[in-house]
Structure formats: structure tokens, C-alpha cells
Amino acid sequence: MILPREREWKLELSRSFRDLGALLDYCEIDASATVFNSRHDFPLRVTRYFASLIEKGNARDPLLLQVLPDAREFRHVDGYTEDAVGDRQAMPVPGLIHKYHGRVLLTLTGACAIHCRYCFRRHFPYADASVDYSMDGKVMSYLAANPDVNEVILSGGDPLMVSDGKLANLVSGLNSIPHVRVLRIHSRLLSVLPERVNEAFIETLRQFRGQAVFVTHINHPNEISRHNEAAFSRLAGEGYKIFNQSVLLKHVNNSAQTLAELSNKLFASNITPYYLHRLDKVQGAAHFDLSTRDSCRIYQQLRDRVPGYLLPAFVEEVVGQSSKSPVHCS
């Protein structure tokens, strides 16, 4: 199979919806049926591919609700903050977050192919956290000086918005640090812009001397189609493990039936359900949140519907804890 070249995925990315009216027209939805805003600090961005999966004429489509700017984002809600997971408190060098033992996270870019309205980094100061991952830069120096770090997580934004050439330079740098053995890539592009899985990207991955793993961010079974399944199969065929983490979102996937269908579709696509996250309490996303009681009820129902290997761990991030924290449901 001939994989798309870099210019092709970038061309597809350039065709993304950035105008709300154009998106609603494409989805055949009357603007009066939505409660939207057009705030400029976190603008609309949706790939054509993701938009093609939205049900025409359905203003309550669960995929649409993930990307539709909502007037409720302007409301200040007590208990929700701009740094919901404590990233800014755990950044010893710009763009490198070190919260947990044995692993660090790099915010390679602030760019994403799709702007999810529940994003916990929607207020993140990317301009002050640009990653210098040159061989003699601060990131590589920090990694070299911390031999207990064996895993590097690529995040953002979305790390796959970075060019293959820049990723290759990063991999080359990581290869020079012997104690870094795992490269974990968290990306929404794998599902919303499957053209990104191109030959240059695959070749870059092959150059990493350790083990590379992927984590997709898929919240609803309707986000999986034969197009992104082909990208997942390509990675799985290369021997890479793929996991998925979802966020439990009101009006999107807050039913055990939906989550069970998602787990089964993920498994059929060579992806292991990994985490089901409670919403991170970031300002602007409170309307997606569910109570602990409702969240636990849904998870307990999901546990009754799927075998253990299809049951994601139900977790939340608590600032200051040494790992993700399990949500305790009585």
C-alpha cells in the first residue's frame, strides 16, 4: 500500500473547517439549533474527515458536540481552573513536564488538527513552553541528567502536527540517551487525520532503538471508520501497540451502551481500551462534566457489559499525586 506523503496530509489539514457557519452548512444544521460562540482564544478547528462522520442535520450529534464552540465556555465555574492538572507546576525546563517517576512529557507544539472543547490544555502557555530538543538543548540535557527517566511521552497540542523531519531529529536525540527506552505518542491525529500515517513517519519510528507505543484519543464509536482503521492497522502491522484513552463527557458518551460499543470497536481496530478519564476541571468545559454518582453508575454498568480486557481503568488526575488516581466507586 502506498502511504500518503507529508504534503498530502498537510493539504488535507489546510482544508479543515475554521468557520462555524461553513461547518454548520456542511453538516446541514441550522445555526439557531445550537448554543454557540466564536471566542477567539480557542477558535474552531475541525478536519474534513472528522466532520464527515457527523450525522447530517443532527445538532446533538456526539461528535459535533465535542468540537462546537459553546456559549457556556464563557461562564466562570467555581472549582474549575486554567491549569486543571498542574502542568505549570511540574515544568523544570520549557516544554518538559515531569510529574511521575520514570517518565516525562514533552509538549512539542500547541497546534492540533481539531480543537476539542473539553481540552484540559486550552489555556496552556505554549508560547512560554516551546521545546528545544536539539542535541545540546535543555530537554536533552535534562534527560541525560536524569537516568531514572526511561520513558518519554510526546504530547502537545498534538505531537503529530510536527513535521517528520523534526520528529526524526527528536528521535535521533533520544537515541543518544541510553536509559530512554520507551517513546509514547499521544495523538488525536491518528483518528481525525488518518493521512498522517505516511511512509516518512513510519520510517522515523523505525529509527528509534527502543519501543514505541501509541495512545489514541477516541471518545465515541462513531469516530472509528474504515479510513482510520487502515491507519491503525498499518501501525499494528509494524508491531506497535496502540492504546486508547477516552474522556467521559456529558451528552457525548455518558452511557454504558455507548462505551461498550466503543470498547468493542477499538478492539476490532487493534486498539486496547486503556483509560476512561473523568473530565479534568478546566475552565470553559464544566458543561461536559458529570457528578461522581452518575459517572460511577455508568462505569459500573459498563463493567457488567464487557469482559475485563475491554474494560478501561476509570481514572482522574489529582494534582500532586504520583500517578493517575482511580475513581473509587462504592
| Sign of the Cα pseudo-torsion (70, 72, 75, 76, in order) | negative
Residue 245 predicted with pLDDT over 80? yes
Give the angle subtended at the CA of 15 by the CAs of 12 and 16, to the nearest 5°: 100
Report how many domains make up the chain: 1
114 domain-assigned: yes
Average pLDDT over all residues of the chain: 91
Average pLDDT over residues 70-79: 87
1 domain-assigned: no
Radius of gyration of the chain from Cα atoms? Answer: 19
Residue 321 predicted with pLDDT over 90? no
Indicate the range of 77-86, 102-111, 218-227, 286-295 predicted with least confidence: 77-86
pLDDT bin (cut points 50, 70, 90) of residue 133 is: low
**Is there a contact between 191 and 216 (Cβ–Cβ < 8 Å)?**
yes
More confident residue, 131 or 47: 47
CATH of residue 95: 3.20.20.70
Q: What percent of the chain has pLDDT over 90?
A: 72
15 domain-assigned: no
Number of other CB atoms surrounding residue 58 within 10 Å? 15
21 domain-assigned: no
Whose cell is 530538543? That residue is: 133
Read off the pLDDT of residues 88-104 as tens digits, 9 standing for 90 and up: 788 899 889 999 999 99
Read off the pLDDT of residues 152-185 as tens digits, 9 standing for 90 and up: 999 988 999 999 999 999 999 999 999 999 999 9
Whose cell is 457528578? That residue is: 291
127 domain-assigned: yes
Residue 2 predicted with pLDDT over 50? no
Residue 135 predicted with pLDDT over 80? no
User: Which amino acid is it at 292?
Assistant: T
Residue 105 predicted with pLDDT over 60? yes
Looking at residue 39, what is its pLDDT?
57
Indicate the range of 29-43, 45-59, 134-148, 186-200 predicted with least confidence: 29-43
Strands (E), the chain: 96-97, 103-107, 151-155, 182-187, 211-216, 241-247, 272-277, 313-316, 325-326
Read off the pLDDT of residues 35-48 as tens digits, 9 standing for 90 and up: 566 556 688 999 99
Task: Name the residue range of residue 87's domain.
Answer: 82-326
Looking at residue 33, what is its pLDDT?
61
**Which candidate, 89, 175, 132, 157, places its Cα nearest to that of 98?**
89
Residue 1 predicted with pLDDT over 60? no
Read off the pLDDT of residues 271-309 as tens digits, 9 standing for 90 and up: 999 999 999 888 889 999 999 999 999 999 999 999 999
**Which candidate, 16, 54, 80, places its Cα nearest to that of 223?**
54
13 domain-assigned: no
Sequence-separated contacts (24+) of 141-147 with Cβ below 8 Å: 141/93, 142/92, 142/93, 142/96, 142/104, 143/104, 143/174, 143/177, 143/180, 144/177, 146/98, 146/104, 147/179
2 domain-assigned: no
Q: How many Å apart are CA 315 and CA 146, to the nearest integer?
A: 28
11 domain-assigned: no
Whose cell is 497540542? That residue is: 157
